[in-house]
């Protein structure tokens, strides 16, 4: 079958394209901005990429158009598809109908930590010899790719996003996945461009819970109030708690980040790694609990996590110049920003943290959570905020960050921001860059500016 994928360079749709190719389909695709690294991965698999969404792509006459959620009404190719009566389907529905049936789907949902937890879980299953398939919204260096499909392998780890499926299907993506094992990492308000309030997101999670079989497993933090409200609406599946009062807990935590895993109150082993922060320990406990459901012993899971190297764009060290370290992190929600700064603070102690933030997600640009930013950034010594040009912002960073006083500055010119950060940096500092986009290549610009300053 020939599939033509619209929006192919997004992480999810690009991964879906790789899976479809591995399943034996002919795959072509298009996007506005065909760019690496996804374009490189796709080209290496013989997938033809077309720049833009012009209507003349209808002449390819694929058996099916697969539509990503970046595609809106008014898109020239989509309008041509609708007018011609050609067959089309959303990416999540195609995956759910054609790849996931018969698989043991392990879905990782939640507001924060989906990519990291999915990567941990896939790594544990890989090390246990289960050869999992997976589709993850990032790249863990240990796994090397973000998506993999082997038709003879049953476990399938998928990052289960609550964002909408397509312009013609406003359900969350994850309702198409029908998991047998589900991690519900946490739940709070996000995606203000899609959901009016937290209750609307809870409804989507309720729909997900309704699809999990009674012989399945739901893994969730024991004290998350929003998730407890979700389960109170109906739950037909055994649950396993993590964290305080849960069946899986973190015991003693060492200064180097290693921690003891407790299973039903008894030590099960020690995860020896360099990842910091309570959030990573919770991610690890969730991955261990989910892996146990497909037969991986706690000891084997703990051993695998001790060799887990992390995920790109999650506190990733991009370089060091004159003893100033520059990190890249995907944090863009106030809770994730605060957690990321707290995790780095535990690692570096009294050393200075210079937080560099681009609030470019749709939710942040709307200003729905702007009032929470001063508190989220309070753990940093200096704050530099960039007023992104990728769509209008509904608030003024200088005004919002005023409670931080002279510690905070905002910029509308990227080079001016880079110059200010480089001028402020001192040996021993840690520059933490946080954005869910490319941020104009600011990491490399900062390293170059630091070298020139030296």
Task: Give the model confidence (pLDDT) of 15-65 as tens digits.
Answer: 999 999 999 999 999 998 766 667 777 888 889 999 999 999 999 999 999
Spatial distance between the Cα atoms of 431 and 242, rounded to a whole number of angstroms: 32
Higher pLDDT, 276 or 2: 2
* pLDDT of 397 higher than 80: no
pLDDT one-digit tens code per residue, 280-320: 889 999 999 999 999 999 999 999 998 886 655 666 778 78
- What average pLDDT does this structure show over 137-149? 76
pLDDT of residue 314: 62
- What average pLDDT does this structure show over 144-150? 87
- Tell me the average pLDDT of the chain: 86
H or E element, residue 251: strand 248-253
Domain boundaries, the chain: 2-90, 100-306, 316-452
Same fold, 100-306 and 316-452: no
- What average pLDDT does this structure show over 174-192? 88
Report whether 117 belongs to an annotated binding site: no
Report whether 340 belongs to an annotated binding site: no
Token couple for 3:
């599939």
State the architecture of 100-306 in CATH terms.
Answer: 3-Layer(aba) Sandwich (3.40)
DSSP 8-state code for residue 294: T
Report whether 430 belongs to an annotated binding site: no
* pLDDT of 396 higher than 90: no
CATH superfamily of 2-90: NAD(P)-binding Rossmann-like Domain (3.40.50.720)
**What are the beta bridge partners of residue 29?**
5, 49
State the architecture of 316-452 in CATH terms.
Answer: Alpha-Beta Complex (3.90)
Report whether 114 belongs to an annotated binding site: yes
Q: How far apart are the first and last CA of the chain?
A: 57
Report whether 112 belongs to an annotated binding site: yes
pLDDT of residue 331: 67
Token couple for 225:
């109030």
Report whether 116 belongs to an annotated binding site: yes
Please state the pTM of the whole predicted model. 0.75
Higher pLDDT, 128 or 347: 128
* pLDDT of 436 higher than 80: no
What are the strands, taking DSSP E only, across 16-163? 26-31, 48-51, 64-67, 88-90, 104-109, 133-135, 147-148, 155-159
Spatial distance between the Cα atoms of 215 and 181, rounded to a whole number of angstroms: 9
Report whether 115 belongs to an annotated binding site: yes
């Amino acid at each position: 079958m020939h599939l033509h994928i619209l929006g192919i360079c997004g992480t999810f749709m690009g991964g879906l394209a790789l899976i479809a190719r591995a399943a034996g389909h002919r795959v072509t695709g298009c996007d506005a901005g065909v760019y690496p690294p996804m374009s490189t991965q796709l080209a290496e698999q013989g997938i033809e990429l077309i720049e833009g969404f012009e209507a003349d792509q209808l002449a390819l006459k694929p058996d099916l158009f697969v539509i990503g959620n970046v595609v809106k009404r008014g898109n020239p190719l989509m309008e041509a598809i609708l007018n011609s009566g050609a067959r089309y389907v959303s990416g999540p529905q195609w995956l759910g109908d054609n790849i996931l049936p018969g698989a043991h789907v392990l879905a990782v949902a939640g507001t924060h930590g989906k990519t990291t937890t999915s990567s941990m879980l896939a790594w544990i299953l890989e090390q246990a010899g289960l050869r999992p398939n997976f589709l993850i919204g990032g790249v863990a260096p240990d796994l090397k790719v973000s998506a993999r499909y082997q038709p003879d392998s049953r476990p399938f780890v998928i990052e289960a996003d609550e964002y909408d499926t397509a312009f013609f299907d406003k359900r969350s993506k994850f309702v198409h996945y029908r998991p047998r094992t589900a991690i519900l990492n946490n739940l709070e308000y996000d995606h203000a461009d899609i959901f009016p309030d937290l209750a609307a997101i809870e409804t989507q999670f309720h729909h997900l819970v309704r699809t999990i079989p009674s012989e399945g497993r739901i893994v969730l933090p024991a004290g998350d109030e929003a998730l407890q409200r979700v389960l109170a609406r109906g739950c037909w599946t055994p649950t396993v708690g993590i964290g305080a009062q849960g069946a899986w807990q973190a015991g003693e935590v060492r200064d180097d980040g290693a921690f003891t895993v407790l299973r039903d109150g008894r030590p099960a082993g020690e995860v020896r790694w360099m990842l910091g922060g309570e959030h990573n320990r919770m991610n690890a406990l969730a991955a261990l609990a989910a892996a146990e459901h497909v037969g991986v012993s706690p000891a084997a899971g703990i051993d695998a996590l001790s060799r887990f190297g992390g995920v790109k764009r999650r506190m990733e060290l991009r370089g060091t110049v004159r003893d100033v370290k520059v990190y890249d992190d995907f944090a863009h929600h106030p809770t994730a920003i605060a957690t990321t700064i707290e995790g780095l603070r535990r690692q570096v102690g009294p050393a200075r943290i210079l937080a560099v933030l681009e609030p470019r997600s749709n939710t942040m640009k709307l200003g729905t959570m702007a009032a929470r930013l001063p508190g989220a950034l309070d753990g940093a010594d200096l704050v530099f905020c960039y007023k992104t040009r990728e769509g209008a912002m509904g608030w003024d960073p200088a005004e919002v960050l005023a409670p931080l006083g002279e510690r905070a500055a905002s910029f509308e010119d990227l080079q001016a921001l880079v110059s200010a950060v480089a001028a402020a940096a001192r040996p021993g500092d840690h520059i933490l860059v946080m954005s869910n986009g490319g941020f104009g290549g600011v990491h490399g610009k900062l390293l170059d500016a630091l070298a020139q300053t030296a």
